[in-house]
Amino acid sequence: MTRSLRQNLFIGIVGAVILTGGLAGYLVYNWAYDEAIEMQDSVLLQIASVARSHDQDVTTVTELNGVDADTHTVLVQEGKDANSTQFRSLWSLSSGLQDTTIEGVFYRAFLSERSSGPRFAVLQQTSVREEIGSGMALRVIGPMLALIPVMTILIAIVVAQSFKPLVQLSHQVDARNANELNPLPLVHAPSELQPFLISLNRLFERVRELLDKQQKIIADAAHELRTPITALSIQAENLDATALPEDARSRVEALKSGAIRTKHLLEQLLAMARQENGASLNQKIEIGEIAKTAVINLIESSNRKEIDLGLEQGEPIQVCAEKITIEVLLRNIIDNAIKYTPKGGKIDIRLRRKNDLAVISVEDTGPGIVDDELESVFAPFVRGGSKEGDGSGLGLSIVRRIVDQLGGTVTLLNKAGRGGLIVTVEIPIEIKSAVNVANLA
């Protein structure tokens, strides 16, 4: 189960609010209840004071409708027939404020004496007193309890807003292309995010240094091997031009094929190393002209296999990339199609615009690729199930790297029924915005 910092923070704050609010409510409730009970005692004393000041007899057990009817307070006088039986036990009590029980009913009573005349008592049922006290206490803490849901909603909003910069940063970093390892700006970033951004920038720096070393090793090795392989190819050509026995000629052909394949591999490695250095995306280029140049450069290879190589283009399309980047991309896709298209086949190259994307489609009449290998062929040195041609297995890997760098996608699709492969590349026409941490504050 994945832990959520936002959820933990929300639960912690709301829990603290409920806990402190509950404790405060409990204390306030008890305070308000005690105050209400004391107020009821004051009412008894006030009624007794009024009765004593009038200095007249109470003729019956009566509910004091004219004094405070809501309190259900009663006033009784010692010796009256109406109450001599019910309240007989009262008169054995001393004067003052006290609790008593009359016929199983609990009362709060105040007994008093007049300067002349019989004693009297003011009584109030304990249950009534408690009901009045609870009602007054609840009216005091009611607004406090009503604020808890409101505070919960406000806390949820504040927590969500506090985590918004982190969510935005996550989305923007995720939108970076594979080769975009430049540091994230720290200016105006929230102070809580700055240690994380600093660590992330250090990681970017270490990854960039590692990639630079790796690319340099590949480029140096390919460059060092280029000269002897070229010399080997020339010697094989010269040897092929001489008169040789049939069995020796077959060996020379194998030598020539191996030399050509190795030379092609070195060229691809150099192209990949140059591409990995990180191309600039600040200039716009028209891909139609580059596609025409690529077709012209590869027309000789297609003619040797009698392949019909065609280019179809609509409106001019510009993308943010370096010219060499698009050249390497198109050359690898078209060259790969020529290698695997049989003699007399056909290759159609189409350029079009789809919304904010430049779409490059290359369709051939070759054997296609086994469905299970449509994704794995993008890995370096993987040639798929078909071993025809003299490819090195780097062409599609370079294509994928370039497309990733440009923020696009590349897909492979086998043509149904007729055979052949369709390679589709979609590249954003406009460069994606770089991560801007300044607006996360």
pTM greater than the 0.85 cutoff: no
- Write out pLDDT tens, residues 366-397: 888 888 888 888 887 666 555 555 555 667 88
What is the structure's pLDDT at 202? 92
For residue 109 the two structure tokens come to: 């009573």
Pairwise CA distance, residues 113 & 119, whole Å: 5
pLDDT at 100 exceeding the cut of 80:
yes
pLDDT at 274 exceeding the cut of 90:
no
User: How far from the centroid of its chain's Cα atoms is residue 150's Cα?
Assistant: 26
pLDDT at 437 exceeding the cut of 60:
no
CATH number of 196-428: 3.30.565.10
Pairwise CA distance, residues 39 & 32, whole Å: 10
pLDDT at 328 exceeding the cut of 80:
yes
Pairwise CA distance, residues 36 & 134, whole Å: 8
Mean pLDDT of the chain: 79
DSSP 3-state helix, strand, coil percentages of the chain (rounded to 5)? 55, 15, 30
Pairwise CA distance, residues 427 & 354, whole Å: 10
What is the structure's pLDDT at 1? 54
Q: Which helix (H) or strand (E) holds 105?
A: strand 105-112
- Write out pLDDT tens, residues 391-416: 556 678 888 888 888 889 999 999 87
Pairwise CA distance, residues 358 & 347, whole Å: 20
Pairwise CA distance, residues 78 & 96, whole Å: 15
Mean pLDDT of 337-353: 92
Pairwise CA distance, residues 76 & 110, whole Å: 11
What is the structure's pLDDT at 177? 67
What is the structure's pLDDT at 291? 92
Determine the angle formed by the axes of helices 246-276 and 323-340, rounding to 10 degrees. Answer: 150
What is the structure's pLDDT at 35? 86
Q: Provide the pLDDT confidence category of residue 144 given band limits of 50, 70 and 90.
A: confident
Compute the Cα dihedral for 186, 190, 194, 196 and give only its sign: negative
Question: What are the CB-based long-range contacts (under 8 Å, 24+) for 214-220?
Answer: 215/273, 215/276, 215/277, 216/273, 218/269, 218/272, 218/273, 219/269, 219/270, 219/273, 219/274
Mean pLDDT of 282-298: 86
For the chain, percent of residues with pLDDT exceeding 90: 13
Going from N- to C-terminal start, the domains of the chain cover: 5-149, 196-428
pLDDT at 66 exceeding the cut of 50:
no
Q: Provide the pLDDT confidence category of residue 103 given band limits of 50, 70 and 90.
A: confident
Q: Provide the pLDDT confidence category of residue 271 given band limits of 50, 70 and 90.
A: low
The two beta strands, 409-414 and 421-428, are antiparallel
For residue 405 the two structure tokens come to: 């760098």
DSSP assignment string, 41-82? HHHHHHHHHHHHHHT----S-EE-HHHHGGGTEEEEETT-TT
Mean pLDDT of 77-106: 72
The CA-CA-CA angle for residues 56, 59, 61, to 5°, reads 120
Backbone angles phi, psi at 411, to 5 degrees: -130, 150
What is the structure's pLDDT at 436? 42
